[in-house]
Structure 1
């Protein structure tokens, strides 16, 4: 009897030791894998990320969805793309840790880390680092094909969408009007709408024009071109030079003829760089794998949206003023890219 009790005691002690060894501070998922409270698995490696994009009719959303698929295919990181209010909102989502990766305009990233313009009230965002510059985002002043608006000055007294509230497009609209000696008060009405809403309201006649900052061709503008017809209002050389002199992150840009259906002449305007940025807390190995997946997926991204084919290692650091994430640095060093 005593022998049986001793054996039973040994079994209980052994079970207790096994349970203690398997225990931890996190919880287990359905596969029995240890999970913490963040996006890291039990081995400390990043297991999932969220990519902040933009509105569903914009370039960010198309490319973000394709990038998420390719990250999943090329790494062990689960990835999903989230529709957002685009650049400025994406920076705030990185600050709070609600997303891990984000598309943004280069000028907006600069405002975020310096705590200026739309970030002045809340202060600088300190946990943003760069991965790559992607392509030029074109500032398009969109009107219906039969509109009488021929110049920026003609926007005076008109109903104009200046972009979603607090967006990069809104900042671009304000700065371009400023160079022409105008403000939002000079417009008949300044509406703050997403791209899809803007072109829909131009189509039904309740809006005269819209500022759209996005890679061309832009889905929302394509839809307008296919229905009512579209024109892009150009900027003249003198005002382009003044704009670049005052805000050096702009560059002259040509929208080629044929970009949109019925669009038979090239238009001169300006552009800013689209960039992919990351929450600085994200683990180095994960960002290395994400950066590698980005540049190994250019063909797939290009088949999703024409701007995807503009992504290149040769231009990855152009206009990128942010500090690079160590994971991105490791990848560029491997590729022999000079920083």
Structure 2
């Protein structure tokens, strides 16, 4: 009788251990088994990052067992710092800012970001110098002495503004500088407190579209020789334009662009990042139906202009697709 009781007790312990083991192991191939929730830091509500981040968060939540949430932020530079601090898992950023961060240059001098890897690039981030017809501003040189928003302190937009002014022989000292986000920049133009604003974002940008509803917009063109000079000095730039018809402008405005990209904390597992990458790029056609920038989001283009080492999980996805840098 004692022997039978011992075997029953042993069997009960084994069974209980198996149940507890199953409860304690989240061995789900759809999320990699080590994370249940992620935050995606984006940008201001008037830009492109935030609405796209919401789309990405829904795709990740729908396609994996990970609950994802898009969070507003000060965009590129702030996002890199947020990932460094471990306060989010995924971030939108500009390719140039990501490069500065991992190399410890410019605004990241002495504050190098070493825990971030790339998921992939998304679409061109167009540098738009926005003003109105009534301002009389027709060239970059015309910005001298004017009240100009150059983007929030530490932002990618601010770095772009500084570099573009540089090749035109100007510095921030030549302007009356304001450090505003996209929404406050366009509001300032509308109420007359600022004359122009640098806005680095995918076109059309929501904040500028809102301004165009009440004002005749001008996108200040950059001359071809200056575009070539910018690209020669800073190779992460590429030729771009704001097409005619955008914001109601009559002619295309030549300018330059960097790449918008997604980066991720390197401590996320290969499985988690693989599934996140797959959820986004396998659904590029669906993204295109809900946001204009979706037409640029393609797996075959996602490794162009990275400037940051690819996360192993993202690499696994692109390897399966036969896509390499």
In structure 2, the residue matched to 1:98 is 87
The Cα of 1:298 is off from its aligned counterpart by 1.3
In structure 1, the residue matched to 2:154 is 166
The CA distance in 1 between the partners of 2:25 and 2:83, in whole Å, is 22
User: For each residue in 1:249-288, what CA deviation from the matched residue of structure 2 results, as whole angstroms up to 9, or x when unmatched?
Assistant: 001102110111x211101000001111110001110100
Q: Which moved more, 1:298-307 or 1:236-245?
A: 298-307
The CA distance in 1 between the partners of 2:233 and 2:54, in whole Å, is 35
The CA distance in 2 between the partners of 1:140 and 1:106, in whole Å, is 17
| Residues 130-145 of structure 1 mapped to structure 2, 5 A cutoff | 130-145=118-133
CA RMSD of aligned residues (A): 2.6
In structure 2, the residue matched to 1:40 is none
* Number of aligned residue pairs: 322
The CA distance in 2 between the partners of 1:253 and 1:304, in whole Å, is 23
TM-score by length of 1: 0.88
TM-score by length of 2: 0.91
In structure 2, the residue matched to 1:204 is 191
| Residues 114-193 of structure 1 mapped to structure 2, 5 A cutoff | 114-122=103-111, 124-187=112-175, 189-193=176-180
The CA distance in 1 between the partners of 2:324 and 2:95, in whole Å, is 20
Q: Which moved more, 1:173-182 or 1:291-300?
A: 291-300
User: For each residue in 1:227-265, what CA deviation from the matched residue of structure 2 results, as whole angstroms up to 9, or x when unmatched?
Assistant: 1221100100111111111100001102110111x2111
In structure 1, the residue matched to 2:316 is 330
Q: Which moved more, 1:150-159 or 1:45-54?
A: 45-54
User: For each residue in 1:169-194, what CA deviation from the matched residue of structure 2 results, as whole angstroms up to 9, or x when unmatched?
Assistant: 0000000111111110000x100000
| Structure number, greater radius of gyration | 1
In structure 2, the residue matched to 1:27 is none
- After TM superposition, where is structure 1 displaced by more than 6 Å over at least 4 residues in a row? 10-24
The CA distance in 2 between the partners of 1:11 and 1:191, in whole Å, is 77
The CA distance in 2 between the partners of 1:113 and 1:102, in whole Å, is 14
The CA distance in 2 between the partners of 1:83 and 1:138, in whole Å, is 20
The Cα of 1:44 is off from its aligned counterpart by 4.1
Tell me if structure 1 keeps the 8 A contact 2:126–2:255: yes
Q: Structure 2: 5+ residue runs without aligned partners?
A: 27-31
In structure 1, the residue matched to 2:273 is 287
The CA distance in 1 between the partners of 2:282 and 2:63, in whole Å, is 9
